Amino acid sequence: MTDGSEGASGAPQTAGGPVRHVPVMLNEVLDCLNPVSGETIIDGTFGAGGYSSAILDKGATVIAIDRDPDAIVGGAPLADTSDGRLKLVAGEFAELDVIANAAGFDAVDGVVLDIGVSSMQLDEAERGFSFRQDGPLDMRMGQAGPSAADVVNHADQATLTRIFGLLGEERQAPRVSSAIVKARAKAPITRTSELARIIEAAVGKKPGDRIHPATRSFQGLRIFVNGELEQLAKGLFAAERILKPGGRLVVVTFHSLEDRIVKRFFQDRAGKASGSRHLPQAEASEPLFSQSERSALAAGEEETADNPRARSAKLRWGVRTAAPSRKGDLSIFKLPRLAIEQVNSRAQTR
Ligand SMILES: C[S@@+](CC[C@H](N)C(=O)[O-])C[C@H]1O[C@@H](n2cnc3c(N)ncnc32)[C@H](O)[C@@H]1O
């Protein structure tokens, strides 16, 4: 399942051009997060500040994090009018507990994550996320690490196949990676439109296809470049460490790989068989979260009619218990083994 980045790159459009990011499932997020005056909430994915702004309206203080420096700059006017209640921090939500500690908070009442890419990022051709608008092949939400061009031009064919197959869920991943390896032998691939053309020629476009042939491969590349699955897995453990007893963790995801991580986290932390088999039985069975509903919530009909991106959204949430946090063991997520370091070192040696 793709993350809704199709349809003019997933961004809401008007006759006058692109509009700002429309927050997805905002009402449901507020119902579950239930922020009240005097509380402190971490918004780990600030974006255009849709969630943060609504949480501020409820009287809570917000520690808002985004790895994209443009999002932080864009949030300055909201911070200026927040009476000091919006603290904007450039950083990664994998470290949200460390960030909150550095901002002077030992524990918080809620954490919300809205996973994925924002409409502003998709709309800005220069950021290189979109196959619909030509731009440099970049895709980095932050500024660090290898770009999509580094990956496409330097990763070995087997790694590319795994990126497109495992992270993009592209059935024709071997064809895509083979076409890329042939093309880059002639000249480096540097533009989004160039990569989209190579992929389209490799997988073909069948009549009636609902999505562009490059959608899945672009998604896989973006997830890889930004280490998105690992960020999510680590962010969930960080939330467990920083939430007070009674604190709420609310996560909105847009495709099955992400939702599976959140589902596994709650199964491990809220289930009866909670915890590692290496822990003493009593400690292992003590739930770290309680859940009033185990299945994911979806957006309502009205919202999905207005905002196509909401169609693939899933919300899962839980309430932190008083049990002490446990060591986060990433193996519970069974993440695909794909090391960005390998691409990094290859890019540097050329
Ligand atoms: C879907 S948008 C969030 C939209 C936001 N809820 C709103 O209402 O405007 C996701 C944002 O999270 C940011 N992001 C994604 N992964 C991140 C990470 N690991 N750490 C910090 N920010 C991240 C992106 O840069 C993007 O701005």
Question: What pLDDT score was predicted for residue 281?
Answer: 56
Atom 22, ligand 1: residue with shortest CA distance? 66
Q: SS3 sequence, 116-137?
A: CCCHHHHHCHHHCCCCCCCCEC
Task: From 253, 252, 258, 250, select the one nearest 230 (Cα to Cα).
Answer: 258
- Residue 290 pairs in a beta bridge with 319
Residues 258 and 288 in one domain: yes
- Burial call 38-65: b when 16+ CB within 10 Å, e when fewer: ebbbbbbbbbbbbbbbbbbeeebbbbbb
Which atom in ligand 1 lies closest to the alpha carbon of residue 227? Answer: 19
Residues 139 and 115 in one domain: no
- How far apart (Å, rounded) are the C-alpha atoms in residues 154 and 158? 12
Supply the pTM of this predicted model.
0.91
- How far apart (Å, rounded) are the C-alpha atoms in residues 112 and 260? 17
Question: What pLDDT score was predicted for residue 13?
Answer: 37
Whole-angstrom distance between the N-terminal and C-terminal Cα of the chain? Answer: 35
Atom 14, ligand 1: residue with shortest CA distance? 45
Question: What pLDDT score was predicted for residue 259?
Answer: 97
- How far apart (Å, rounded) are the C-alpha atoms in residues 128 and 53? 28
Which atom in ligand 1 lies closest to the alpha carbon of residue 46? Answer: 5
Q: Are 294 and 285 in contact (CB under 8 A)?
A: no
Residues 194 and 343 in one domain: yes
- The first and second tokens of residue 13, run together, are 């459009």
Question: What pLDDT score was predicted for residue 260?
Answer: 96
Residues 253 and 282 in one domain: yes
Residues 242 and 270 in one domain: yes
DSSP-assigned states of every residue in 153-167: HHS-HHHHHHIIIII
Task: From 246, 342, 339, 259, select the one nearest 298 (Cα to Cα).
Answer: 259
Q: Are 185 and 198 in contact (CB under 8 A)?
A: no
Residues 111 and 233 in one domain: yes
Atom 2, ligand 1: residue with shortest CA distance? 118
Residues 267 and 309 in one domain: yes
Question: What pLDDT score was predicted for residue 12?
Answer: 37
Residue 330 lies in a domain: no
Residue 107: CB atoms within 10 Å: 15
Question: What pLDDT score was predicted for residue 340?
Answer: 58
SS3 81: coil
- How far apart (Å, rounded) are the C-alpha atoms in residues 1 and 3? 7
Residues 102 and 144 in one domain: no
Residues 90 and 171 in one domain: no
Residue 1 lies in a domain: no
Q: Which range of residues forms the domain containing residue 290?
A: 8-119+228-322
CATH assignment of the domain containing 157: 1.10.150.170
Question: What pLDDT score was predicted for residue 206?
Answer: 77
Kindly give the distance from the C-alpha atom of residue 118 to the centroid of ligand 1, in angstroms, as a whole number.
6
Task: From 151, 152, 136, select the one nearest 191 (Cα to Cα).
Answer: 136
Per the structure, how many domains does the chain have? 2
Kindly give the distance from the C-alpha atom of residue 155 to the centroid of ligand 1, in angstroms, as a whole number.
26
Task: From 108, 67, 87, 13, select the one nearest 227 (Cα to Cα).
Answer: 67
Atom 18, ligand 1: residue with shortest CA distance? 92
Q: Which residues line ligand 1 (CB under 6 A)?
A: 21, 23, 45, 47-51, 65-68, 71, 92-94, 114, 116, 118, 141, 231
Residues 183 and 156 in one domain: yes
Residue 330: CB atoms within 10 Å: 12
Question: What pLDDT score was predicted for residue 272?
Answer: 55
90: buried, middle or exposed (CB in 10 Å: 19+, 13-18, 0-12)?
middle
Residue 311 lies in a domain: yes
CATH assignment of the domain containing 317: 3.40.50.150
Residues 266 and 245 in one domain: yes
Residue 2 lies in a domain: no
Kindly give the distance from the C-alpha atom of residue 10 to the centroid of ligand 1, in angstroms, as a whole number.
15
Residue 109 lies in a domain: yes
Which atom in ligand 1 lies closest to the alpha carbon of residue 235? Answer: 19
Task: From 107, 143, 108, 305, select the one nearest 225 (Cα to Cα).
Answer: 143
Residue 332 lies in a domain: no
Atom 20, ligand 1: residue with shortest CA distance? 92
C-alpha distances (whole Å) from 308 to each of 12, 23, 26 are 8, 12, 15
Residues 275 and 249 in one domain: yes
Residue 129 lies in a domain: no
Which atom in ligand 1 lies closest to the alpha carbon of residue 71? Answer: 27
Question: What pLDDT score was predicted for residue 15?
Answer: 39
pLDDT in tens, 278-308: 555 555 679 999 999 889 999 999 999 999 8
Residue 124 lies in a domain: no
Residues 6+ apart with CB under 8 A from 45: 51, 65, 66, 93, 112, 113, 114, 115
Kindly give the distance from the C-alpha atom of residue 301 to the centroid of ligand 1, in angstroms, as a whole number.
24
Which atom in ligand 1 lies closest to the alpha carbon of residue 91? Answer: 21
Question: What pLDDT score was predicted for residue 35?
Answer: 98
Atom 25, ligand 1: residue with shortest CA distance? 68
Ranges of residues in the chain with a pLDDT under 50 are: 4-18, 273-275, 349-350
